[in-house]
Amino acid sequence: MVVGDFPIEVDTLVVGSGPGGYVAAIRAAQLGQKVTIVEKETIGGVCLNVGCIPSKALISVGHRYAAAQDSDSMGITTESVKLDFSKAQKFKDGVVSKLTGGVEGLLKGNKVETVNGEAYFVDANTVRVMTDNSAQTYKFNNVIIATGARPVEIPSFKFTDRVINSTGALNLKELPKKLVVIGGGYIGTELGSAYANLGSEVTIIEGADDILAGFEKQMTQIVKKGLKKKGVEVVVKASAKGVEETKDGVVVTYEANGEEVKVEADYVLVTVGRRPNTDEIGLEGLGLNMTDRGLIEVDKQCRTNVPNVYAIGDIVPGPQLAHKASYEAKIAAEAISGEKSEVDYLAIPAVCFTDPELATVGLNEQQAKDEGYDVVSGKFPFAANGRALSLDATDGFVKLVARKEDGLLLGAQIVGENASDMIAEMGLAIEAGMTLEDISMTIHAHPTLGEISMEAAEVALGKPIHMMTK
């Protein structure tokens, strides 16, 4: 131990300040615990700084720019629409700054001590927090590990100034004329769509049979239609072989249909998954049960096999979603405080901010059947909704899946304008054990997109008003 490094004692130590860590720290403090949170980079973690928030800001800029260029059907014609990309980046950075500053204020207001440095576990009750020129020991009764995940780097695409990950894609100094995206999942498709809206020529290369594997094909087909309209080339069943950097960009080589293809671009964005940050922090000395992928195994209170060690978010099994991490954060903090809280993943929504947006919650029709349910479903198109027509946003649908015997809602899938907001009602309905009749009898304001969910329930009940059925 460094001379003068007297241990600081806390009730609960939180490692990581992303949407899991900072929420855990605040909830633990609210419940009377003395809490210290350790962050090696910037408060807010990946989500607020280089993930969810800045990407949505850039996506919004893309939407505004695209709409300004293409509103002729509404009688709006523009002669000269200009994009100041550096100003767009300043807008994005401003959004990030406001939110991270807000989180810092919330931590301070809840009397959470914030420490900058890298945590390394000495044992199940001790960590060393190290900076470039100092180290401090902390003793804790309980710890919540919320260290998140980082982009996977593949050997043939080592990250450089031109071979970038999602963080690099959000902080480009120039708008790429051409961009190649390796990986057609959430991140690749969102950022590919955003840059296409901003005017970049985009190619998405995906190894699987289709992009956006977590969503039903009838949903992704609509997104692919939107990508094609933007001029995005989507290549599936393709294998990215390598990249060669040139003076002003890159040449990406991929193989598809038995042929080798080369594509020139300014940048290549690699989005092939994220790796849990469970290495290099001393966890091996704690004897935690872990999966082959480096995920920490936890129980329904987010407790590991070491009773005072908890883990949440991207480092535990399940989808890598910010809202899942925040949910688990509250459970862990409450469990430490002696409450009987435990996780219930009945209704975790998943959203992708493509054009149009995708959102799903609960079970889709095939999943429900696979689980043994006798199901009934109802689908209603955006094209038959007055608000969607007035927004000139008619692509998409709402589909509800329910148990046939009593109409209990099992799941919902939405593709279309504002799907990310609309899915919340369906999540609440599933969480509350509501039925198709409950949804159909709920008075929805007119004219709104929310009515589409009500109409889908009526279709499933066999009594639609605004749609003819056989």
Ligand-binding site membership of 273 (annotated): yes
Ligand-binding site membership of 188 (annotated): yes
Ligand-binding site membership of 394 (annotated): no
Is residue 274 within 8 Å of 295, Cβ to Cβ? no
Ligand-binding site membership of 450 (annotated): no
Distance CA 441, CA 205 (A): 45
Q: Which of 323, 444, 446, 466 is catalytic?
A: 446
Element (H, E) at 69: helix 52-69
Amino acid identity of 271? T
DSSP classification of residue 408: B
Ligand-binding site membership of 21 (annotated): no
Tokens found for residue 83: 């994009």
Ligand-binding site membership of 184 (annotated): yes
CB within 8 Å of 284: residues ≥ 6 apart:
none
CB atoms within 10 A of CB 217: 11
Ligand-binding site membership of 404 (annotated): no
Is residue 189 within 8 Å of 204, Cβ to Cβ? yes
Active site residue 466: no
Is residue 111 within 8 Å of 30, Cβ to Cβ? no
- Positive or negative: CA dihedral 306, 309, 310, 316: negative
DSSP 281-339: SSGGGGT--B-TTSPBP--TTSB-SSTTEEE-GGGSSS---HHHHHHHHHHHHHHHTT-
Ligand-binding site membership of 56 (annotated): yes
Ligand-binding site membership of 185 (annotated): yes
The string over 322-337, giving b where at least 16 C-beta atoms fall within 10 Å of a residue's C-beta and e elsewhere, is: bbbbbbbbbbbbbbbb
Length of the chain: 470
Binding residues, as ranges, are: 56, 183-190, 206, 273, 314
Catalytic positions are 446
Binding residues for NAD(+), as ranges, are: 183-190, 206, 273
Binding residues for FAD, as ranges, are: 56, 314
